[in-house]
Amino acid sequence: MNEKTSEIIESLFKTYYIRNKQKIFEPPRLRNREFAFQTFKSEGMIRHLAFENAEELRNYIVKIIPKHAFYSTAIYVLPSAHDMDEKGWIGAELVFDIDADHLDTPCRNQHDFWKCITCGYRGRGKTPETCPNCGSKNIKAYAWICEKCIAKAKEETLKLIENFLVPDFGINPKEIMVVFTGHRGFHIHVSSKEYTKLSSEERREIVDYIKALGLSIDKLIPFRRSREVLGLDINEPGWRGKIARKLYDFLLELEERKDEVRNFLGEKTATSLAEELNRVIVEIMDKPPKWTTLYRILGRKKLRKLLETLVKEEKCEVDEKVTIDTRRLIRLPGTLHGKSGLPVLILDLVSLDNFTLTKDLSPFKGKAKVKFTEEIPKNIEVLGEKIAGRKGENMKISLLAAIYLAGKGLVEIEGIE
């Protein structure tokens, strides 16, 4: 990003902060939080800042115009101390990060692209470790976000809350705060007192449970020792009950998923399962539940394969580094994300359910004159706007797209209208 582009975006951010100063979030126990900022004039981070109240914090933000703004999930006795040991750690919110980059979204092959810095060779989809043309490892990746990416991240966020945090850990929904990061996903903050004192190791155990790490499928599959094979009960706690409920849902959706089922179970087994579907469902819902017919049709090996698939669908992909870090700096709601120009937003569960990635999220309207510094492939969309251009080409695009592309180093902004 050249100096002119940086100055233009900083000016736009300044206008936003002046107009939306009161929307900047006031974290609970604000005076015990550390704050950190990155400005447009420096690549480094301004850290170890503390404020007495929300007004002091907001005035500081209007004064420095941050490109990125963060606050600590931790509560400290002395948050402004530069030595972490001197801060006096009291506790920390339990935080989860769900990022579209970590999810298996097929749309990535349509919009993500990469370039070999050594030879200029380009490609779409997953970035290779080495350039297929020259073998260089010097590859620049351009990860995109689209409505489908965010929809998948939203689905994962709702799954985390509704399938894990509330039923399994007994967390009150009122003590859960969901935040759109302004870029590729969501942060989920848990403020329940009983979780704030957890160590990194204890938080890791929570992550392991949510991601089904260490779950032994073999121990969940009964060996057939008689005519009847007892199965898992949908009312059981933990992963046993989750798998039982997921199996029930899978059987109800069997017709809709028939092509997928044929692929991993085989034509003959899939046909047999469909023919005896009603009997299988009656048995697994019996008291006690039985997997006798299911076991006979699938056999142990294919039953294991089915359960592995169900676990993969049920587990939640969270970034463990964020959750286990008891001194994490995280994005401050009400501020702008410097790479996208979008605001960091607090969402209630209803708003989250209805959340979509659209141009209406951006506070910036109007047009901008830009010059492409890299080639952008055809059919790439930025918040619904199709963008394509060759390196060195001049074009007029929406201001929100210009800010987004400038943040990725793909254009320079030469003027706005």
325 assigned to active site: no
Q: In whole angstroms, what is the distance from residue 245 CA to residue 249 CA?
A: 6
CA atoms within 13 A on the CB side of 183: 20
Catalytic residue among 168, 259, 319, 360: 319
Query: Long-range CB contacts (< 8 A, 24+ apart) of 307-311?
Result: 307/217, 307/220, 307/221, 307/243, 307/247, 308/217, 309/264, 310/243, 310/246, 310/247, 310/250, 311/212, 311/215, 311/217, 311/239, 311/243, 311/246
CA atoms within 13 A on the CB side of 407: 22
319 assigned to active site: yes
Structure tokens, 40: 């447009």
Q: In whole angstroms, what is the distance from residue 178 CA to residue 165 CA?
A: 13
Q: In whole angstroms, what is the distance from residue 268 CA to residue 271 CA?
A: 5
The one-letter amino acid code at 318 reads V
Distance linking the first and last C-alpha atoms of the chain: 20
Structure tokens, 270: 């899939």
Q: In whole angstroms, what is the distance from residue 200 CA to residue 321 CA?
A: 10
Packing angle between helix 3-19 and helix 399-407, nearest 10 degrees? 120
Structure tokens, 227: 């005519």
The string of DSSP letters for 258-284 reads HHHHHHHH-HHHHHHHHHTHHHHHHHH
97 assigned to active site: yes
Who's near 252: CB < 8 A, 6+ residues apart? Answer: 281
Overall size of the chain counted in residues: 417
Catalytic residue among 83, 85, 99, 233: 99
Give the strand order in the sheet containing 345-347. Answer: 94-99, 185-190, 176-180, 345-347
DSSP state of 32: G
φ and ψ of 331, to 5 deg? -65, 140
Catalytic residue among 83, 85, 97, 249: 97
The string of DSSP letters for 76-128 reads ESSTT-SSGGGS-EEEE-EEEEEEGGGS--TTHHHH-EEEETTT--EEESSPP
Task: Kindly list the catalytic residues.
Answer: 97, 99, 319
